[in-house]
Amino acid sequence: MEKPISIEIWNASGKYRVVSSKPMPGTRWIRLLTDQDCRVEICTAEKTILSVDDILGLIGNKCDGFIGQLTEDWGEVLFSALRKAGGTAFSNMAVGYNNVDVDAATKCGISVGNTPGVLTETTAELAASLSVSAARRIVEADEFMRAGHYKGWLPNLFVGNLLKGQTVGVIGAGRIGSAYARMMIEGFKMNLIYYDLYQSTRLEKFVTAYGEFLKTNGEQPVTWKRATSMEEVLREADVISLHPVLDKTTYHLINKQSLATMKKEAVLVNASRGPVIDEAALVEHLKANPMFRVGLDVFEDEPFMKPGLADLKNAVVVPHIASASKWTREGMATLAALNVLGRIKKFPIWSDSNRVESFLDENSSPPSACPSIVNSKQLGI
């Protein structure tokens, strides 16, 4: 078994052993654990993605709780080992947990924590940034400028798409999807079409009110429409942002057929989960339709891109940074640590995992609760 290269230890004499597979932003999360008599061990190995064997080595013979990352494969092997080591708590430093076998964790009596409520606006901002970057060809223009190709203004130089008055489509109008929609509507005066299994009444009221505001100021009001199908969004929208959860029903939601439904000059944005898009089909579509553009923060086979994607000028690609604001990442680390600490201390579950401001206030002690445990009902906690 390959052992981690190095470990950083805080509060070596602590009663409870908590392990983090990666260094996380800030130090508040460490202090919150050490103040509660936890020995904190942080793997500082240079390896980007730890294997199952690596993590087994980290768990060792005694481990009360573990903080992991979405790049790790947490299944029966790891949860069994964590339970055997006396552990009861695991938390992803992420809102998503498709890398975690929750049933296996529950079977082993391990709680699974995640970190919603802290990355909504940050992720929506990144999706909006990708939308603008792709529509206005900003990355292409930046590379052109840096390469010394600019010789002066030209009428046809990097002509892109105007967003004002166009239609933004949102697939999955939950917290992040709705925040993104508000940014695009209020920022660029775009009309909205959205598809979700549930009606987003709050978002609809926002668009209606903003439309009335524009109308009273002599401007064209924005409109909203709840689509009856995803295909309706794909057909009608000029910019489409994907915000569904990843499960069997949304795997390859965007494929060869759905891409063919979209406008030839549409912009597609994905800051949710990579496998929502059939990336190989997307590459072929981008090649065949040079005015079609995408902005991608996530990829089907992370950390790799499908062959050909990196060579395409009509693709803006960034390395899974949607939540990468300082405040958000430090907040995610705090919530993950408190999920583990709360379970170790047998704290109750917080009443609303999407309202976590009380846990993030650095000027006060956090509530004695687990911020978000996805299998709390199954475990009876």
pLDDT band at 98 (very low <50, low <70, confident <90, very high): confident
Cβ-based neighbour number of residue 238 at 10 Å: 21
Asked about 320 being catalytic, the answer comes back as yes
Placement of tokens 């009876």 in the chain: 380
pLDDT band at 96 (very low <50, low <70, confident <90, very high): confident
Contact partners, residue 355, CB within 8 Å, separation at least 6? 117
Same fold, 7-118+324-379 and 120-317: yes
Is the pLDDT reported for residue 292 higher than 90?
yes
The domain 7-118+324-379 having CATH identifier 3.40.50.720: the answer here is yes
pLDDT tens-digit series, residues 247-284: 899 999 999 999 999 999 999 999 999 999 999 999 99
pLDDT tens-digit series, residues 122-168: 999 999 999 999 999 999 999 999 999 999 999 999 999 999 999 99
Asked about 302 being catalytic, the answer comes back as yes
pLDDT computed for residue 198 by the predictor: 95
Is the pLDDT reported for residue 2 higher than 90?
no
User: Per-domain residue ranges for the chain?
Assistant: 7-118+324-379, 120-317
Asked about 252 being catalytic, the answer comes back as no
Whole-number average pLDDT of the chain: 96
Which phi and psi (to 5°) does residue 164 adopt?
A: -55, 130
pLDDT tens-digit series, residues 299-335: 999 999 999 999 999 999 999 999 999 999 999 999 9
pLDDT computed for residue 46 by the predictor: 87
Strands 89-92 and 111-113: parallel
Over range 209-227, report the average pLDDT: 97
pLDDT computed for residue 5 by the predictor: 65
Is the pLDDT reported for residue 4 higher than 50?
no
Is the pLDDT reported for residue 222 higher than 70?
yes
pLDDT computed for residue 134 by the predictor: 98
pLDDT computed for residue 191 by the predictor: 98
Second CATH level (architecture) for the domain 120-317: 3-Layer(aba) Sandwich (3.40)
Q: Which of 137, 243, 273, 343 is catalytic?
A: 273
pLDDT tens-digit series, residues 27-81: 999 999 999 999 999 999 988 899 999 999 999 999 999 999 999 999 999 999 9
Is the pLDDT reported for residue 1 higher than 80?
no
Three-state secondary structure of the chain: CCCCCCEEEECCCCCEEEEECCCCCCCHHHHHHHCCCEEEEEECCCCCCCCHHHHHHHHCCCCCEEEECCCCCECHHHHHHHHHCCCCEEEECCCCCCCECHHHHHHCCCEEECCCCCCHHHHHHHHHHHHHHHHCCHHHHHHHHHCCCCCCCCCCCCCCCCCCCCEEEEECCCHHHHHHHHHHHHHHCCEEEEECCCCCHHHHHHHHHHHHHHHHCCCCCCCEEECCCHHHHHHHCCEEEECCCCCCCCCCCECHHHHHHCCCCCEEEECCCHHHECHHHHHHHHHHCCCCEEEECCCCECCECCCCHHHCCCEEECCCCCCCCHHHHHHHHHHHHHHHHHHHCCCCECCCCCCCHHHHCCCCCCCCCECCECCHHHHCC
